[in-house]
Chain A
Amino acid sequence: MKEELSNSTIISAKNLSVSYGSQEAFHGITLDIPRNKIVAIIGPSGCGKSTLIRCFNRMNDLVPSAKVSGDVFYNGQNIYGPNVDAVQVRRQIGMVFQKPNPFPKSIYENISFGAKVNNYQGNMDELVEKSLKQAALWDEVKDDLTKSGLALSGGQQQRLCIARALATEPEVILMDEPASALDPIATLKIEELMQELKEQYTIIIVTHNMQQASRASDLTAFISLDRTRVDDRVGVLVEYDLTEKIFIKPAEKETEDYISGRFG
């Protein structure tokens, strides 16, 4: 589409559709995620935004009724190919959820747990420190890493979850409304953190907050319900472009109506 889009794609969805049982969640989505960019996915509730990013690391495999068709290429490899280990995919493409969900363990163990499971051979203390620093949490917790992760504030818990995701040394981080349960200051901290993280990682964020998408992302994808299908709610990709383009002069009337609050 645009130069910035074509320049080194890390994830590429081709004609991707997902259904739960007989109900299609979204249909025929094709989009490329460029490396080291932040891509926001916006759209009304129930249009399949979360389902879409869950396809990017095969989280939907965990839902028995979910059926995925089409392809998702990660660094050129089809992650739905026959010999692909979904656990390995999730190690490379980490995820942070809406509600902070630290393990009921110490801060240290929250970070080291995944590494231990993965048979991490390096220095664990260094990994914990590095991950917490990258998640901009180190200075706030370094004095007592034995404290329970659950004793932290909501914003800190979310950064702990980001640190935990970073500890498996992924390339891509999927964020599903990571700040919707946080206050404005904690939200801005997460957004600032995202800007630092994109130097090393690629971030895909689902958000309901238009201001967050416009502040934090380089590219924005607008997914909406397919108007041609009146009987059911099926998501389709309406527009995908540079964030500034989407928020100043979107190409599609439907995008315009949605972002300026005149949707339906």
Chain B
Amino acid sequence: MPRELFERKIKQIQDEILLLGSMVEQATLDATAAFKNRDIPTSITLVEEDQMINDKRFAIENAILIQMATQQPLAHDLRLLASMLIVTNELERMGDYAKGIAKNTIRLANREIPTPVRDIEKMAELGVSMLHKALSAFIKEDIKVAVSIPKEDDEVDTLFNKCYQSIVNNMIANSKIIDDSSLLLWIVHDLERFSDRVVNICERTVFIKSGEMLEMSSNDDETE
């Protein structure tokens, strides 16, 4: 096998992607906890720390481009590097959702409004668990796991609709909380988009392994 050096470099990049993934997972869980506890100092820190996620993304992107430029990857190698580039971008955007949650927590401050806290927490937990599985399937190129993950997104979508209804109903019942409650809508939207992007990662796993560009998203809502 004459491409050991190249394969070692790819392995290093994969490790960095896993690291970026765990940073995003942690940021999402921390942002959700800080929201639940209205922990403003932690939320401020999380907003600042998003920069670390962005920096890591650029470092990974650069490492991928160097391999593309110097190793002339083809076939599986090409599909793998192109997919890693896309997945890195997905992870960075998911980091932005965590930052979005933290920002809205800061805006909400300590004002009391009716909040579906448990369901929001559940959305975050589900999304993070999906991401964890999706990234490990991505690295292992495990199509079976990758195609099984999108159905979990349906559960997130169900929770999203439930939260959305409850937040809107509360707004209708009490117009004084509309401003603050709209911040909650942003938070549930961020979490819903988070798991949509996990599905995008799963699509890339299928592409690496099979060369097929498969649309796996279960809902048609691709708005930001």
Chain A: residues with CB nearer than 8 A to chain B? Answer: 210-211, 214, 247-250, 255-256, 259-262
Q: Is B216 engaged at the interface, CB distance under 8 Å to the other chain? A: no
Residues of chain B with a CB closer than 8 A to A255's CB: 75
* Whole-angstrom distance between the Cβ of B124 and the nearest chain A Cβ: 37
A260 touches B75 (CB 8 A): yes
A247 touches B75 (CB 8 A): yes
Main secondary structure of the interface of A (DSSP, over half): helix
A260 touches B73 (CB 8 A): yes
CA distance A260 to B80 in the complex (A): 12
A210 touches B74 (CB 8 A): yes
Q: Which of B135-167 contact A (CB under 8 A)?
A: none
A259 touches B2 (CB 8 A): no
B3 touches A261 (CB 8 A): yes
A261 touches B75 (CB 8 A): no
B72 touches A211 (CB 8 A): yes
B79 touches A247 (CB 8 A): no
Residues of chain B with a CB closer than 8 A to A256's CB: 75-76
Q: Is B180 engaged at the interface, CB distance under 8 Å to the other chain? A: no
Residues of chain A with a CB closer than 8 A to B72's CB: 210-211
Q: 1/0 per position for B1-44, CB-CB distance to A under 8 A? A: 11100100000000000000000000000000000000000000
B73 touches A248 (CB 8 A): no
CA distance A211 to B72 in the complex (A): 8
Q: Which of B63-121 contact A (CB under 8 A)?
A: 72-79
Residues of chain B with a CB closer than 8 A to A211's CB: 72
Identify 14 new A-B residue pairs, CB closer than 8 A, beyond the known A211-B72, A248-B78, A248-B79.
A214-B74, A248-B74, A248-B75, A248-B211, A249-B211, A250-B75, A255-B75, A256-B75, A260-B73, A260-B74, A260-B76, A260-B77, A261-B6, A262-B1
